[in-house]
Amino acid sequence: MAPSINDDNKITTTSPNQDNGLLLYNNVNQEVLQEKTSKYLLKYGTEFNKHVICGSKGLYVYTASGHKVLDFTSGQMSCLLGHGHPEIVKTIADHAASLDHLFSGMVSPPVISLGERLCNLLPAGLDKAFFLSTGGESNEAAIKMAKIYTGKFEIVGLGASWHGVTAQALGAQYHFGRKGQGPLMPGMLMLPPPNGYRSIFRRADGSYDWEAEMEYGWRMIDMQSCGSLAACIVECIQSSGGMHVLPPGYLAALKRECEKRGMLLIVDEAQTGVGRCGDLMAINHENVVPDILTLSKTLGNGLPLSAVVTSAEIDRVCVEREFCFYTTHINDPLPAAVGDKVLEIVVRDNLVEHSRAMGKILHDQLNSLKDKYGCIGDVRGRGLMAGVEIVEDRETKTPALALGKAIGDRAYELGLWANLSSHPSFGGVFRIAPPITITEDQLLSGLRILEEAFAMTSGTMPL
């Protein structure tokens, strides 16, 4: 018997020819699976969700107990077009059957097509690409490329950033994952995180003075540097750090500071790229062209696919200096075909414009929710990428981690998954990033569930 979901959101079984494809697993015992999880699966820095997920389709995931949950975080911020998009499924099936994986020195039509499509969509100066598996891997490659090109080794990152867990990517992030493993990569330096909600850098009127903060940060960098500054790596929206958007003008100023020092600017668009924020890429929002761009997450719609894109000149010099980042799955045809199809769909279906329109509704509704509940200290983000920060008091801005968890748990019970960044350095922020294919009705449905969760949770301070 094959599983399906009935109108009451419970698992039922049907004959195989009636299977609607929502679940791959039925007749499972959640308690047994939880016991096996504890016995056999290593922890890697997080607690597992208590429910085992047995199916995903469109904007929803389904648990072993039959609970249907609207996925407001696109998996790990990756399923840009939703789970099980039919054209993506067909692309995977076709390439799994006929062109899946090759020797790393071989090239194939989907890789060439993805490179052509991607580079033609990007500004001049982002001319050539190669394709890897994860965001951390692409940032590792980008940092190594910057070191090879400049002949220098110091890398500047921003506080509260997240770039991956491999050696150089981890060295450039500063709020989590650095402890207990001995010395990190040498030459890693930090700028203050551009946190407009909490920064101590303020003008006389109380507004955020990011220019003074950046100037202070670079003075500290210059004092620490041994004279070998190679690159600065930055996210346009620091998602894992609490959905902090770079202030207008910040990215352009950062590029100028890099140019003064003979450094490259690397922009990590793991989460912001491919339409998520209402522009095709977040760099388009202020027309800043980095020296190296990295993509991941959204490009593969949930499959492991990342990209490193740079200029023909940087590529030329790196080739001369024997740059090497040769991996087992570099330029694999199957994920490349998926990435090519993702870009085709996003452009063809005007999903950038749709993301911008749905993003306006999302932020309008979240700010309306802020007007109703005193525990919401800040709403921020851009496009279909939003953060809602939960605080004990708006004056002190003290994070309310336990309250945030209670709201999130209630929303999950009601049928909505909105990830709460609960690490103390995140400040207790709901990270909302649904698939950009979401309809207005689906978006409003999820927001109604979120508001109901606030209404049902003690301590949210109705206004």
Residues that are catalytic: 162, 235, 268, 271, 297, 431
Give the H or E element holding residue 254.
helix 250-260
Task: Give the Cβ contact number of residue 376 at 10 Å.
Answer: 24
449 touches 70 (CB < 8 A): yes
Torsion over CA: 137, 142, 146, 148 (sign): positive
Strand partners, 190: 157
| Contact partners, residue 243, CB within 8 Å, separation at least 6 | 237, 380, 381, 385, 386, 387, 429, 431
d(CA 116, CA 125): 14
Where do we find the tokens 């024997």? 322
Which of 315, 326, 369 minimizes the C-alpha distance to 126?
315
309 touches 129 (CB < 8 A): yes
Which of 315, 312, 195 minimizes the C-alpha distance to 246?
195
